[in-house]
Amino acid sequence: MSRVVVTGLGAVSACGLGADVLTDATQTGVSGVKPIHFGDLDAQRVKTAARLSEADLVQVLGEKPHRMREPVAEYALTAAREAVAQAGLTEEHFGDSCGVSIGSGFGGGQTLNINYLKLGREGSMRLDPMSVPKIMNNAAASWVSMEFGATGPALCLATACSSGSQSIGMAYQMIASGQVERCLAGGSEACLESGVFRVWELLRVMTAEQNRPFSKDRNGMTLGEGAGVLVLESLESAEARGATILCELVGFGTNSDAGDLLRPDPKRAAACMRMALKSAGLTPADIGYVNAHGTGTVANDVNEVTALRDVFGEGLDGLDVSSTKPIHGHALGAAGALEMIVAIGALQRQSVPPTINFTEVDPKIDIDPVANVAKPKQLGAVMSNSLAFGGINATLIAKAYEHS
Amino acid sequence: MSTDRDTLTRDLLEMVAQEGMVEPSEITPQRKLEELDIQSADFVMILMAIEEKYGAYVSVDNELTDVVTVQDLLDLAISKIEEHQAAQA
């Protein structure tokens, strides 16, 4: 089995363009959540989302939108270009030795929404003829593979909020097993469209106020968008080309609740974290920080804290936990990738990012996360959890790189 | 400004029966929602109806997890509707 290292990071989020910009925002506790207004919705109940700023949208999408590409593909391309540049990859590093694993929960939401509105309002049959290739879930992964000439395996896992984490985990496995030397891995989501937003409202898991994970007065999540892409490589190939190693990806766990589509099972989330620890050859005491799934819905928070206690012990001794979702929003299929970048940022800066908007410990779960202000801490290994609808759990573990 | 409590309670009971697909005669404030076989999927239907009729948005969260009886649900709905009406005023 090859050791797998991270040599490049790229992010597009409500916090701005760039992985460093995202880490800065999470470390300083500056939220990318903004007011959002959909003219198509007669009555909009939830009025905020962690959306890209208008200026960033223009930079990512260009003045004139690409005829064949949706924002979901453009976000992934922008993040991938940044990660590839940081890693210093050039033409000879692609081809069959490089895979792409970029997940998305929804795929292209924009074209579908525009088509439905046009069909419904005008009864028009003149819809976008490029709808199918724009909408398909694997569009982002395919555009990234075309951009760089990465002709290895191209995957698109569509496992809701675990898409990004599982995509990174699959890339990790492909590299560890020697199938490919490197992989561009992560997730992308651009779901802030009127019809999509309305059905999230109807599920009633979004807060009409502020997102406050683990806090007593929590009442739901805030939707986000963006993309996170990592360059993962075998240690051997990274060393051979003299790349700067950012950290080592050491553990991946994923499993299914096979129980309820929406209600999570803490036993399964705990089993997932244990699977990742086992694959990393680490004990719970080795983990200094967990970037929680931490959506700020009561179902998630109770489930995740129960699972964390199961794995790390009742007192969660020595462990720091936070959710950075109030900063970058819940970016669904991109969430796991953005949050892994945040966790790696914590490792690089030796500082735990805070759960902002936190007001009061909830006696129901009795956890005091790193609240509102970052906490300097010596970190050797960090964990990121994704616990998705459909009962799909995924956990990733990164470690400071040590030359053996 | 505030809708009359009795009318509101009666309307809400009707709504719970209709959206939860339960015989109106079976619904009394003291009954547990579980006994009436009102589940999470019915909850979101009831909350959607409350939003449609009164404009109040209730997320499926903290407060709702403490709801056990029909009365608990009515109390929560009434407080959210009144909150919403006060905010509109």
Alpha helices (H) in A156-257, listed in sequence order:
163-176, 194-203, 235-240
Question: CA triplet B8, B14, B18: central angle to 5 degrees?
Answer: 140
Are B62 and A218 an interchain contact pair (Cβ–Cβ within 8 Å)?
yes
| CA separation for the pair A29, A299 (Å, rounded) | 24
CA–CA dist A333, A102 (Å, integer):
9
* pLDDT value, residue B2: 52
Residue length of chain B = 89
Q: What confidence tens digit (pLDDT) does each residue in A139-181 have?
A: 999 999 999 999 999 999 999 999 999 999 999 999 999 999 9
CA angle A341, A86, A166 (to 5 degrees): 35
Q: Which residues are paired to A362 by β-bridges?
A: none
Q: List the single residue in B48, B62, B65 with the smallest CB-CB distance to A202.
A: B48
Q: Write out the residues of chain B at the interface with chain A, using a CB-CB cutoff of 8 A.
A: 40, 44, 47-48, 51, 55, 57-63, 65
The answer to whether residues B21 and B44 touch, using CB atoms and an 8 Å cutoff, is no
- B62–A263: do the CB atoms touch at under 8 Å? no
Distance from C-alpha of A107 to C-alpha of A232, rounded to nearest angstrom? 23
What does DSSP say about strands A287-291 and A381-388: parallel, antiparallel, or unpaired?
A: parallel
Mark the ranges of chain A whose per-residue pLDDT is less than 50. none
Distance CA A282, CA A259 (A): 28
Q: Chain B within 8 Å of A212 (Cβ-Cβ)?
A: no
Query: A199 — contact with chain B (CB < 8 Å)?
Result: no
From chain A, the residues in CB contact with B44 under 8 A are 202-204
Q: Rg for chain A (alpha carbons), in Å? A: 20
Q: What is the pLDDT of residue A56?
A: 98
Q: How far apart are CA A113 and CA A57, in angstroms?
A: 18
Chain A nearest C-alpha distance from B20 (Å): 16
Query: Does the distance separating the beta carbons of A220 and B55 come in below 8 Å?
Result: no
Angle at B43 between CA A270 and CA B21, to 5 degrees: 130
What are the sequence ranges of the domains in chain A? Answer: 4-240, 250-399
Question: Architecture of domain A250-399 in CATH?
Answer: 3-Layer(aba) Sandwich (3.40)
Partners of B58 on chain A (C-beta within 8 Å) are 204
In angstroms, the first-to-last Cα distance of chain A is 15
The answer to whether A22 touches A345, Cβ cutoff 8 Å, is yes
Q: Cβ contact (<8 Å) for B55 and A205? A: no
Question: Which residues in chain A touch residue B76, judged by CB atoms under 8 angstroms apart?
Answer: none
Q: Which CATH number fits domain A4-240: 3.40.50.80, 3.30.70.520, 1.10.10.10, 3.40.47.10?
A: 3.40.47.10
pTM > 0.80: yes or no:
yes
A211 contacts A327 by C-beta, under 8 angstroms? no
Q: Among B42, B51, B59, B84, pick the best mutation site for testing chain A contact (most A Cβ within 10 A).
A: B59
CB-CB neighbours of A117 under 10 Å = 15
Q: How many CA atoms lie within 13 A of A245 on its CB side?
A: 22
The pLDDT of residue A143? 98
Give the nearest chain A residue to B61 (CA atoms). Answer: A219
* 3-state secondary structure string across A249-296: EEEEEEEECCCCCCCCCHHHHHHHHHHHHHHHCCCHHHEEEEECCCCC
- Taking the C-alpha atoms of residue A381 and residue B58, their distance in angstroms, rounded to an integer, is 39
Distance, CA of A183 to CA of A268 (rounded, Å): 28
Task: Judge contact between A164 and A338, C-beta under 8 A.
Answer: yes
DSSP reduced 3-state for A387: strand
Q: Which residues of A are catalytic?
A: 161, 293, 330
A185 min Cα distance to partner chain B (Å): 33
pLDDT at residue B3 is higher than 80: no
Compute the distance between CA of residue B18 and CA of residue A402 in angstroms, rounded to an integer.
Answer: 63
Q: Which of A201, A204, A298 sits opposite B65 (nearest CB)?
A: A298
Token pair of A196, please?
Answer: 């999509």
Pairing of strands A182-189, A98-103: parallel
Tokens 């779960």: give the residue: A365
Q: What tokens were used for B52?
A: 């449609």
Q: Which residues of A touch B63 (CB under 8 A)?
A: 219
pLDDT at B61 over 90: no
Lookup: tokens for A240: 């051979």
| Phi/psi at B50 (5° precision) | -65, -40
Q: Which candidate, A98, A48, A115, A52, places its Cα nearest to that of A78?
A: A52
Contact partners, residue B8, CB within 8 Å, separation at least 6? B78, B81
User: What count of CB pairs under 8 Å joins A to B?
Assistant: 42
How far, in Å, CA of A268 to CA of A54, rounded?
40
Minimal-distance CA residue of chain B relative to A47: B57
pLDDT at B64: 82
DSSP helix/strand/coil, A323: coil
- Cα-Cα-Cα-Cα dihedral sign, residues B35, B41, B45, B51: positive
Which residues in chain A have Cβ-Cβ distances shorter than 8 Å to B55? 43
Q: Tell if the CB–CB gap between B61 and A219 is shorter than 8 Å.
A: yes
Which of helix, strand or coil describes residue A301? helix
Q: Are A29 and A374 in contact, with CB atoms under 8 Å apart?
A: yes
| pLDDT tens sequence across A182-195 | 999 999 999 999 99
pLDDT value at residue A249: 98
Residue B1 has pLDDT above 70, yes or no: no
Where do the domains of chain B lie, and which CATH numbers do they carry? 5-88 (1.10.1200.10)
Q: Which residue of A45, A217, A297 is in closest CB contact with B57? A: A45
